Amino acid sequence: MTWPARIGAGVAVLAALAVGQAVDAALPVEHTDERPFVRAGGIGDRVHMNYADVTVDAVHTAKSLDTPQGKVGTPGRWLIVDVTVVAWGRPLSRPAMSLEDDSGRVFLSDPRSGYDWSSAPTGVRWRAQVPFEVPEDALHGATLVFSRDANDDRRDDVARIDLGIEPGDVAGLWDTQQVIELPPAQMATP
């Protein structure tokens, strides 16, 4: 390569860098949208996301849970959400599941409940019962929020599944003395 060609190539590279800097200055990174992609559904609906399909099969309440450590009571109620998950691409190790009421309060699964998620294998229907300790006023309008990671859901799929609890259902769900034993998360049988 001759020296004029080398100088021309150097000038072209410097011009490309200057154009890149101008574009970067005009479109700052802090204005990118990092909201998750929300997939909505209700009880019985299969909510498809890029890493898993999630279905809420049923919702019920209990006054206490029967765990290997003994009975775990609550001044409120345990709202138990029956979930079926099919992981796609790779196993789903520790998805984030929370319950959100209609006033925006968030409830997590209590470690005292004995609930434990085992890694869901790829392509297999995986069933779990997820308990949330809630007060009576959190039942109406409760929504299950399911995401791949509890710490970071930026630009990822998140399922918001309405549990279908209407004001007329609250009294029936609250007036229970039922004790439920939670099975471990496991493969669903047909």
Q: Are residues 41 and 24 in the same domain?
A: no
Helix (H) or strand (E) holding 99: strand 96-100
**CB atoms inside a 10 Å sphere around CB 81:** 23
Number of domains making up the chain: 2
Tell whether the model's pLDDT for residue 68 goes beyond 80.
Answer: no
Tell whether the model's pLDDT for residue 156 goes beyond 90.
Answer: no
Q: Are residues 81 and 140 in the same domain?
A: yes
Are 186 and 126 in contact by the 8 Å Cβ rule? The answer is yes
What region does 182 belong to: left with phi over 0, alpha with psi -120 to 50, or beta?
A: beta
The parent domain of residue 127 ranges over: 36-187
Q: Are residues 77 and 94 in the same domain?
A: yes
| CATH code: domain of residue 123 | 2.60.40.1240
Say how far apart CA 43 and CA 60 lie, in whole Å: 12
Q: Are residues 19 and 42 in the same domain?
A: no
Q: Are residues 50 and 2 in the same domain?
A: no
Q: What is the pLDDT of residues 168-178, one digit of tens each?
A: 999 999 999 99
**pLDDT value of position 28:** 67
Say how far apart CA 50 and CA 146 lie, in whole Å: 13
Write the DSSP symbol of residue 156. Answer: S
**pLDDT value of position 1:** 73
